[in-house]
Chain A
Amino acid sequence: MKRITVKRGSYYDSVFLMLATRSLKGLDGVREAIVAMATPMNVDLLGDMGFPTTELDGLGPNDLVVAVDAANDKSADAAVKEAFESLDRKKTESAASGVTKVGSFGAAMSRAPDSNVAIISVPGAFAAREARKALEAGLHVMVFSDNVPLDDEIALKKLAVSKGLLMMGPDCGTAIINGKPLCFANVVRSGTIGVVAASGTGLQEVTCLIDRYGEGISQAIGTGGRDMKNAAVGGMTSLLAIEALSADPATKVILVVGKPPAPEVAAKVVAALRASGKPCVAHFLGAAQAKDEKNLAFATDLEEASLLATLLAMGETSIESARACILEDSGNDRYNRPSKAAIEKIAAAEAARLAPGQKWLRGLYTGGTLTDETLFMAHATLGGVRSNNQTDPAWTMADPLRSEGHVVIDLGDDFFTAGKPHPMIDPAARAERLAKEGADPSTAVVLIDCVLGYGSHADPAGATVEAIRTAKAAAIARGGYLPVIASVTGTPADPQGYSDQVAKLEAEGVVVMPSNYRAALVAIEIARKAAKGGAR
């Protein structure tokens, strides 16, 4: 039986709706359940699923719909009850959080006239007008929302630049301003490195590594993925951020991280870094290696970028001397980096236990930039890796749900998150995929990330260990072995706790590396050995 229950005039954030939907799907006797706002799209969807949409006539995006397909009345009743309880939990929790709540942006400004930053995570179609209001009111803005039209981004950034305001995003997941983590960010120590980053997990990875190397962050400014990459946006936010960090007395070193900029933007960014008068480090993922300049180092990976910035902040007087400090030795160095030799040893030990037929790398990521870092490394080394993030159409996954050959998947991609929470918020989808890859006898090694900090799941390692345990046991039962390699992006001060999360993974036999770069090296090496038939 299909039942629809409506509550008019109750707007809920999509994440809470998705979590409520998920909490219904596990209930006894519930075949299908949707908790959603009655947007035209959702109404169509419910119609396609065979729900009686006559009950939805005249409803709009501020009306809540609970649609349940259940075995009987009792199950349906229970599901509807659970839906409202789940949404009410959100309300009760918020009441306990001590956050002041108001009805409109104007009311917020009159309540807190000294406000200086607006964070906007409303649906993308409406994010621009809220951002414009905030900029007009003189606030710096961080737009977390994605699906904001390019024209809107350009107009907003022009407005922001004309007022000297930071317009972070759209699609900006992470920033750290005055030591406070915004949206998806880690609790890192204060320091003298100023970061400008296009991406979320890239920014998280470098700030966490810097924290681990003993340095800290003055400011970490997110720009959104299109800022440098799109010539029309022209790096407006990045350039303003670099200009501000150049003049900021608390910032000694500037670190820029992102995908390769459009050529004309790259020239402007490099010129701005040269003119900063401060040592700078830049890392453009997947770009051809550029030659270091006097005050500007081009790093090859996120780890090297973090380490160079740290050394320059700690007093190394030149790029050369900083580079000299990070030449690898044979064992773990003072930065706890296993050397290439050590990695070779770990990989050999893991690969030795593989059964014949175990050939492929399966990278299962929740973080987009971490996916890309691994993808660029593995694609070159392993002679072709499929991914939903591939820029080369020949290697783009035809069906992201089906792995073939070496694969590195970004599970936070729109393909996977339509109607579901992002895997950083709820790692259940990744655990499912891990179980699937583990059941595939051709899988040689599973590589995962584990991103901590505010915004992320309360226990991402804990939410994944059961799937790891099952997959490893199944491999052994088949007469093989399943290496699982991981890195944890986090700090000891994060709500989840770095060492707790590492311990949970290690307890399952997971090889935990100190950075995504090192984890990828280990996994790629195992896959390389497996492909050569080095096992057994």
Chain B
Amino acid sequence: MIRDAMNAKPVLDLFKTKLSVINLGLESFAANLVREGANAVHVDWRTPAGGNAKAIAALDAIEAGTAVDVEKANAEAVRRILAAEPTVVGIGLALDVVPGMARDLILHAGPPVTWGKMCGPMRGAVIGGIMYEGLAGNPEEAAALAASGKIRFDPCHHHDSVGPMAGVMTASMPVWIVENKAFGNKAYCTLNEGLGKVLRYGAYSGEVLDKLRWMRDELAPILAAALKLHGPIDMKSLIAQVLQMGDEGHNRNRAGTSIIIRELAPHLVMLDYPKDKLSKALAFMNANDHFFLNLTMPSAKCSVDAAAGIEGSTIITTMARNGTEFGIKLSGLPGRWFTGPAGVVDGLYLPGFGPEHAARDIGDSVITETSGIGGFAMAAAPAIVKFVGGSPKDAIDVTMRMYEICDAESLSYRIPVLDFRGTPTGIDVRKVVETGILPAINTGIAHKDPGVGMVGAGLVKPPENAFRDALVAFAEKYARK
């Protein structure tokens, strides 16, 4: 009597099928099966979420069921990031174009921070910004004003903007206007000031302010006019090109700076300005390898902003640092920052400087990684592999690891050495927490004292707790139980 064993059917199917095993844990179990002729794939298992019980409970709760379909929400978030069409449409004054900008408002990099908690470089930049705006006559007055409460501080990110390093933006600074043509949203970023003593590294001496004024009064109008002749610049296409020319879009911008000069030069020389002024503008861009960074950043910003605020999405839409804290935002939890202490950059130093001079991790430039370039495209930039271990293989390893925490691959930004595979895009906070693989972030290093400038560059680890806290908050909002 053979009974009708409906419930056991999958077991009976197993008995009839070739054994094919997924092995987690002791690797020898997989090796033995292969030796005996079975199929086996071994999983190089790691403790989930570093063994953090709260984070594991959040992962499990989300997996057990959510009020909104997370996979669908993430697919939409990723679709929007990939479909973005960042385009440079103009240059304007912050007060005129940046939403919510005001005379008494200073925007800064990273999550919210008070004057009392600002790091050295950011305080320096704020002092410089106040003097640049003519609100104070000397640094002491400026610092007193900053501390008085009469000046408001707000993150760039709260005003559709991003700023490198200290990221200070004041009302009368010229800004790039980048529009995401696919979704109509815009992002803003100041013009890059070059290297050495610059405001973004906290310098506020007379020469720093003079240069800012020159940028406002001469450089910006020239570039704006040239841009008008050129017409809107398709940044997606330019970024795609620079990744194939040895840039990764964050720490190396040499190809990008060259290419933007190439784009603008034919129009720039046609302008009705004295030759020496046009030449000075071109020479300024040429002397600053990072000129292109301030175009890449708002491009990345308006690309990921289109994916913000999607109910139920675990995609990270913002990462930013203010020199005191590192913060992230999730698409599905709009308006909320999750922060941890800003890290110390593991990097290489310019001659005469060392880790003892370094400020903590600072700047909004990590928006590039958030959008899938920068550290995530490290394999594209063999020229700067020294920052990640020294060999091109190290750079490839960095990018390969990032695929494990992302939901998608870019359709436009491709890496030649990976057989033109798209860069890892759409960081899923669930994967970051589960695997413990933190986003790889390339960055510059500021001197901890205001006004000294850049002292090196390297790689920084974001604080793991920011990602765990975000995941736990997500589970609290969306998990059914």
How big is the B interface, by class?
Answer: 35 or more
Chain B nearest CB, measured from A376 CB (Å): 31
* Residues from chain A with Cβ under 8 Å of B436 in the complex: 60, 62
> Interface size on A (CB < 8 Å)?
73
In-complex Cβ contact of B26 among A15, A103, A139, A275 (8 A): A15
Chain B nearest CB, measured from A412 CB (Å): 16
A100 touches B10 (CB 8 A): no
Q: From B47-55, B81-89, B183-191, give the one contacting chain A.
A: B47-55
* Residues from chain A with Cβ under 8 Å of B48 in the complex: 126, 129
Q: From B13-21, B192-200, B328-336, give the one contacting chain A.
A: B13-21
* Residues from chain A with Cβ under 8 Å of B34 in the complex: 97-99
- In B7-63, the 8 Å CB interface with A consists of 7-12, 14-15, 17-48, 50-51, 56, 59-60, 63
Chain A nearest CB, measured from B276 CB (Å): 55
In-complex Cβ contact of B41 among A97, A102, A121, A219 (8 A): A102
Q: Is B3 an interface residue (CB 8 A)?
A: yes
* Residues from chain B with Cβ under 8 Å of A105 in the complex: 22, 24, 43
B20 touches A164 (CB 8 A): no
Q: Is B449 an interface residue (CB 8 A)?
A: no
Q: Is A479 an interface residue (CB 8 A)?
A: no
Among residues of A, the one whose C-beta sits closest to the C-beta of B53 is A125
Bound CA span A177–B32, Å: 14
B8 touches A243 (CB 8 A): yes
Among residues of A, the one whose C-beta sits closest to the C-beta of B21 is A117
Chain B nearest CB, measured from A237 CB (Å): 10
Q: Is A454 an interface residue (CB 8 A)?
A: yes
Q: From A107-115, A360-368, A520-528, give the one contacting chain B.
A: A107-115
A108 touches B43 (CB 8 A): yes
* Residues from chain B with Cβ under 8 Å of A116 in the complex: 14, 17, 19-21
A246 touches B2 (CB 8 A): yes
Q: From A178-186, A323-331, A378-386, A434-442, give the one contacting chain B.
A: A178-186
* Residues from chain B with Cβ under 8 Å of A102 in the complex: 41-44
Known: A118-B22, A247-B3. A241 touches B11 (CB 8 A): yes
Bound CA span A145–B28, Å: 15
- In A123-154, the 8 Å CB interface with B consists of 123, 125-126, 129-130, 133-134, 138-140, 144-145
Bound CA span A39–B51, Å: 9
Known: A104-B435, A119-B25, A177-B14. A112 touches B33 (CB 8 A): no
Bound CA span A94–B26, Å: 11
* Residues from chain A with Cβ under 8 Å of B28 in the complex: 455
Q: Is A248 an interface residue (CB 8 A)?
A: yes
Q: Is A187 an interface residue (CB 8 A)?
A: yes
Chain B nearest CB, measured from A137 CB (Å): 9
Bound CA span A122–B4, Å: 36
* Residues from chain B with Cβ under 8 Å of A13 in the complex: 25-27
Chain A nearest CB, measured from B197 CB (Å): 35
Of the listed residues A39, A90, A246, the one surrounded by the most CB atoms of chain B closer than 10 A to its CB is: A246
Bound CA span A111–B28, Å: 19
* Residues from chain A with Cβ under 8 Å of B60 in the complex: 129
Bound CA span A218–B11, Å: 13
A144 touches B25 (CB 8 A): yes
B22 touches A129 (CB 8 A): no
Q: Is A277 an interface residue (CB 8 A)?
A: yes
Bound CA span A318–B217, Å: 105
B27 touches A94 (CB 8 A): yes
* Residues from chain B with Cβ under 8 Å of A111 in the complex: 41
* Residues from chain B with Cβ under 8 Å of A121 in the complex: 23-26, 29
Interface residue SS majority, chain A: mixed
Bound CA span A535–B60, Å: 65
Of the listed residues B11, B18, B33, B42, the one surrounded by the most CB atoms of chain A closer than 10 A to its CB is: B11
Q: Is B404 an interface residue (CB 8 A)?
A: yes
Chain A nearest CB, measured from B18 CB (Å): 7
Among residues of A, the one whose C-beta sits closest to the C-beta of B20 is A115
Among residues of A, the one whose C-beta sits closest to the C-beta of B2 is A247
- In B64-104, the 8 Å CB interface with A consists of none
In-complex Cβ contact of A62 among B1, B50, B59 (8 A): B50
Known: A129-B48, A244-B15. A120 touches B25 (CB 8 A): yes
Mark contacts of A56-90 with chain B using CB atoms, 8 A cut-off: 1 yes-contact digit, 0 otherwise: 00001110000000000000000000000000001
A243 touches B36 (CB 8 A): no
Known: A62-B50, A121-B25, A249-B2. A180 touches B11 (CB 8 A): no
Bound CA span A122–B45, Å: 8
* Residues from chain B with Cβ under 8 Å of A164 in the complex: 7-11
In-complex Cβ contact of A108 among B2, B22, B33, B38 (8 A): B22
Among residues of A, the one whose C-beta sits closest to the C-beta of B10 is A164
In-complex Cβ contact of B46 among A62, A101, A139 (8 A): A62
A180 touches B22 (CB 8 A): no
A99 touches B31 (CB 8 A): yes
B40 touches A99 (CB 8 A): yes
Which B residues are closer than 8 A to A by beta carbons? 1-5, 7-12, 14-15, 17-48, 50-51, 56, 59-60, 63, 404, 435-436
Could you list some 24 contacts between A and B, CB below 8 A?
A11-B45, A61-B51, A97-B27, A99-B27, A99-B30, A100-B40, A104-B404, A107-B43, A115-B20, A118-B21, A118-B24, A119-B25, A119-B30, A122-B24, A123-B47, A125-B51, A126-B56, A164-B11, A178-B19, A178-B38, A244-B11, A246-B2, A249-B2, A277-B1
19 other A-B residue contacts (CB within 8 Å) besides A94-B27, A102-B42, A117-B21? A11-B45, A90-B27, A99-B23, A99-B34, A100-B41, A102-B41, A107-B404, A111-B41, A118-B22, A119-B22, A126-B48, A144-B25, A161-B7, A181-B36, A219-B15, A243-B7, A243-B11, A246-B2, A454-B36
